[in-house]
Amino acid sequence: MIRKNILITGASSGLGKGMAIEFAKMGRNLALCARRMERLQELKIELLKINPEIKVVIKSLDVDNHDLVFEVFKEFQQEFGHLDRVIVNAGMGKGASIGTGYFYANKQTAVTNFVSALAQCEAAMEIFRQQNAGHLVTISSISAIRGGRRAINVYAATKAGLSSLSEGLRIDVLDTPIKVSTVHPGFIRSEINEKVKKVPFIVDTETGCKAIVKAIEKEGANSYVPRWPWAVLQPILRVAPLSWLKNMS
């Protein structure tokens, strides 16, 4: 099945922008939203240069405005007539070690990455249940597998929560025309981690987004990308000693 009309949140930069570019190359119509409208406008021009035949609609959306999430998603559905796939991508990585005075930064990450992701899932699933069809994709992280220290601490917890939420949704709509997939990217260079210097197995944004889109198209339950090394490493990470995890974060 070809998912023609695709909604992506957090589409103005990083993985969201990269996925939009890859889907444009594939001839998909795109409903793109993010806080920074000027960047979305620039991206729309870029996408239509890549493929003038596609439809691109952009809207301003701060996913922490939960009522607005529902409004914007419904507006996209009305404009496209049917949403085939929603990719819950918007997120952030602010924070520091718990107890070091950065509660509000940690709280912001917790709200955006989990509560606001819940709002996006709710809005998408309302539409899919109405349509009796659709593909929900949540962008989690390889860090969801185990806890992490310092700035990764809260970030990893939110992604673990998102992965668990997605699995529950998957069970809820099992054997229906609605599909739920969770993608767990490894280390991909983007704005969220541009200040981090030493990261194992990191790949550039284009390489990472191609791997993510390939996994999304397969519509599997869980995927770990790029497949090398993360599909191999993820079962090892589940049982790795804490000292080993410390050196990875």
Q: Return the active site residues.
A: 155
Of 89, 96, 241, 91, the closest CA to residue 154 belongs to 96
User: What values do phi and psi take at 187, rounded to 5?
Assistant: -80, 110
- ∠ CA 14-74-138 to the nearest 5 degrees? 40
Q: Which two tokens stand for residue 16?
A: 């969201």
Q: Which two tokens stand for residue 34?
A: 């993010």
What is the distance between the alpha carbons of residues 160 and 248, in angstroms, rounded to a whole number?
17
Going through 106-152 in order, the beta strands assigned E by DSSP cover 134-139
Does a cis peptide bond (omega within 30 degrees of 0) precede residue 241? no
